[in-house]
Amino acid sequence: MFDSADLRRLLENVVGSDNVTDTDSSDDADWTGRFVGEPTLLVRPGSTVEVAEVVAVARRSGVSLVPRGGNTGLVGGSISRGRSILVSTSRLRNTGTIDPLTRQVTVGAGVTLHDIQEQAQSFGLRYPVDFGARGTATIGGTVATNAGGVNVVRYGMTRRQIVGIEAVLGSGETVSHLGGLVKDNTGYDLAGLLCGSEGTLGIVTAVRVQLVPLMPHVVTALVSCDDVATAVDVVASVCSRLDTVDAAELVTADGLALVREQIGLEIAMPNRRIHLLIECSSASEQVDVLSDILDEHQGIDVAVAVTPSQRERLWRIREEQTPSINRLGVPFKFDVTVPLPSLAPFVERIPLAVEKVRPGARTFVFGHAADGNMHVNVVGGDGDEVALTEQVLGEVVACGGSISAEHGIGTAKQPWLHMVRSTSEIDAMRSIKAALDPDGIMNPGVLLP
């Protein structure tokens, strides 16, 4: 901890003494426990104006800023490092009213996914970015990481939901463009640029998002089979025939066994290697349509759930993957995208590839099958961490994939950014950062080498 007496006083003058605290152990580590920061100050500004004043204090004091939403990020991006302080958005929680004509709403960066989803639902609408950390992950954090989740196949990543943004840049300038006009071709897309910038360009303080209709008829099919190629074929055939597919999630028998081991399972599952959850939502009933498509496939077992409780029991299997793995031990997490034609051989071969460099490890593969986004989580075993990362990411890049599908680069993948972005691309990103964060105070060490 650097000498912070003066800094604390300056920050307290901005946000009040109650909103400047020393971090404690719960602040200093990321959700997985793999990334641990140094003790520092945590400041909670209550408005965009206060955020701008905090940035100004940081610039004058020569300290860096690490924006912090729900701290559910999985690549070490929201952890303090060096001469940095944490800037929490937990007080930026004002929520606007939903505009019935545009179906849009503006919310503070610290509002959680769950809160936005609830507000939308009360209006018969839906905020479609969804994943297991919804209760803690904030809209600001999901914008900063351009979060994906289970509904990308139908609604896209977070970037596609944003129609307006307000942020304080590292320069101390505030940009605010929250009108929500869908057709507004008036220069560079600052919202699109800040989305996915992982706190390295500025602090998002408010976001205007587009909501979608909440569909009354939801059906979830559990499709079980013995190889990934069959699963990929099933997903491709359903997605080519229905435009109502919200999710297509894959778990393996190992992941299922781990959930059963840790929390038990409330439903009987076929004894097969691969399980898919395919969920569709629509204005009219679709159970038969989906069942008919699945009936065309050989070698699969199908169970269809329509009641909320049946569907919830199926989804628990998928949503318990991450927490169950973390209870086993601090995982090495690889969040990769593999082109669909290469997905089956990749998923089949990656556990063996890991075993070669990390003997004795347990490898769990699960994820968003329709997007080719697999989560390869490695727990335990011995061997060099760099060799493990190079092995897994090497396999991904060899088939034209991405080293980060939805979690971002953070500090975790930063040394491997060059595997998927050219020197000129990285130089262009550096130029943008130099323009918007001239003193380099925004989240140094994250994203850009």
For the chain, what's the residue count?
Answer: 449
Q: Which stretch binds ligand FAD (CB under 6 A): 65-73, 99-107, 340-348, 355-363?
A: 65-73
Q: Which does 375 bind (CB under 5 to 8 A by kind): ligand FAD, ligand MLT, none?
A: ligand MLT
Q: Which does 401 bind (CB under 5 to 8 A by kind): ligand MLT, ligand FAD, none?
A: none
Does residue number 74 form part of the binding site for ligand FAD (CB under 6 A)? Answer: yes
Q: 166 or 319, CB closer to ligand MLT?
A: 319
* Residues 162-221 interacting with ligand FAD (rule: CB under 6 A): 198-199, 203-204
Distance of CA 45 to the CA centre of its chain: 24
Q: Which does 165 bind (CB under 5 to 8 A by kind): ligand MLT, ligand FAD, none?
A: none
Please give the angle made by the CA atoms of 89, 90 and 94, to the nearest 5 degrees.
Answer: 90
> 437: which 2 tokens?
């964060």
Q: Which does 67 bind (CB under 5 to 8 A by kind): ligand FAD, ligand MLT, none?
A: ligand FAD
* Residues 322-351 interacting with ligand FAD (rule: CB under 6 A): 322
CA-based nearest residue to 70, from 146, 141, 22, 127: 141
Does residue number 364 form part of the binding site for ligand FAD (CB under 6 A)? Answer: no
Task: Give the SS3 label for residue 101.
Answer: coil
Quote the least distance from Cβ 318 to ligand MLT, whole Å: 7
Beta-carbon-side half-sphere exposure of residue 167 (alpha carbons within 13 Å): 30
- By the 8 A CB rule, do 167 and 139 touch? no
Q: Which of 132, 156, 192, 380 binds ligand MLT (CB under 6 A)?
A: 132
| CB-count burial class (<10 Å; 0-12, 13-18, 19+) for 163 | buried
Does residue number 375 form part of the binding site for ligand MLT (CB under 6 A)? Answer: yes
Q: Which of 69, 196, 331, 372 binds ligand FAD (CB under 6 A)?
A: 69
CA-based nearest residue to 2, from 37, 26, 38: 38
Name 249's bridge partners. Answer: 277, 368
Does residue number 40 form part of the binding site for ligand FAD (CB under 6 A)? Answer: no
Q: Total residues at the site for ligand FAD (CB under 6 A)? A: 36
Build a one-symbol-per-residue string for 343-372: x at contacts with ligand MLT by CB under 6 A, - elsewhere: ------------------------x-----
Q: What percent helix, strand, coil does the chain show, rounded to 5?
A: 40, 25, 40
Quote the least distance from Cβ 336 to ligand MLT, whole Å: 10
Q: Which of 81, 83, 134, 333 binds ligand MLT (CB under 6 A)?
A: 333
Q: Amino acid identity of 112?
A: T
CA-based nearest residue to 161, from 202, 225, 111, 211: 211
Q: Which does 333 bind (CB under 5 to 8 A by kind): ligand MLT, ligand FAD, none?
A: ligand MLT
- By the 8 A CB rule, do 239 and 248 touch? yes
For residue 323, which phi and psi values (nearest 5 degrees)?
A: -60, -35
Helices (H), 152-307: 152-155, 190-194, 228-241, 253-263, 287-295
* Residues 285-324 interacting with ligand MLT (rule: CB under 6 A): 321-322
User: Nearest residue to ligand FAD, using CB?
Assistant: 141
Query: Footprint of ligand FAD on this chain (CB under 6 A)?
Result: 31, 66-74, 77-78, 89, 109, 131-133, 137-138, 140-142, 144-145, 147-149, 198-199, 203-204, 322, 406-407, 443, 446
